[in-house]
Amino acid sequence: MMKAIQIIMFASALFTSAVAIAGQAAETDRTPVTVFMTPWCGCCHAWTEIMREEGFEPTVHDVEDLDPVKSQAGVPGNMQSCHTAAAGGYVLEGHVPPAAVRKLLSERPAVRGLSVPGMPAGSPGMGNDSDAHYTVYSFSHDREATPQVYLEIGK
């Protein structure tokens, strides 16, 4: 029962985040981001606060089991991290930097979403070190497809 509810919640977050972007100019200039995370995840919380500071408007849903959310979000196994979020109809997995999200939302490529797999040191919410080196990937609607490098940070 819980799993079914969480799956519906993510699908609805993805849809409403797309609609919110469409109506954004009239309402506010802050882009809504819906974040699914476990209640005990400190780095997820830290990422959410950085997104808020960077001008996004996060809404947090605490869930104890993120597997059904990641599955519904279509995050490939090797792209998984801690939290899973939705913004502008895209999936954001893990510590994706705000600049990458802004680029995604302005260019609107035909991808399912972005991921920073694992939790690289220095990424936003993991120390937020401007000298950090890590890779932001994009993944496709086809979860068998190989994720592509979207941005190299600090390289």
Which one of 16-24, 27-35, 100-108, 111-119 is the stretch in contact with Cu ion (CB under 5 A)?
A: 111-119
Instruction: Output the smallest distance, CB 77 to Cu ion, in A.
Output: 17
* Residue 60 interacting with Cu ion (CB under 5 A): no
d(CA 65, CA 59) in angstroms, rounded, equals 18
CA dihedral 137, 21, 13, 76 (to 10 degrees): -10
The amino acid occupying position 71 is S
Q: In what order do the strands lie in the sheet with 90-94?
A: 56-62, 31-37, 84-87, 90-94, 113-116, 134-139, 148-153
Instruction: Output the smallest distance, CB 29 to Cu ion, in A.
Output: 27
Between 3 and 42, how does the x/- string for binding to Cu ion read (CB under 5 A)? ----------------------------------------
Residue at token pair 């490939």: 76
* Residue 119 interacting with Cu ion (CB under 5 A): yes
Dmax over CA atoms of the chain, in Å, equals 45
Pick between residue 50 and residue 82 the one whose CB is nearest to Cu ion.
82
Which one of 59-67, 70-78, 100-108, 116-124 is the stretch in contact with Cu ion (CB under 5 A)?
A: 116-124
* Residue 96 interacting with Cu ion (CB under 5 A): no
* Residue 82 interacting with Cu ion (CB under 5 A): yes
d(CA 72, CA 51) in angstroms, rounded, equals 23
Instruction: Output the smallest distance, CB 149 to Cu ion, in A.
Output: 20
User: For 73-86, what is the HEC assignment?
Assistant: HCCCHHHCCCCEEE
Binds Cu ion (CB under 5 A): choice among 37, 43, 66, 73:
43
Residue at token pair 């954004």: 24
Pick between residue 129 and residue 142 the one whose CB is nearest to Cu ion.
129
- Which residues contribute to the site for Cu ion (CB under 5 A)? 43, 82, 119
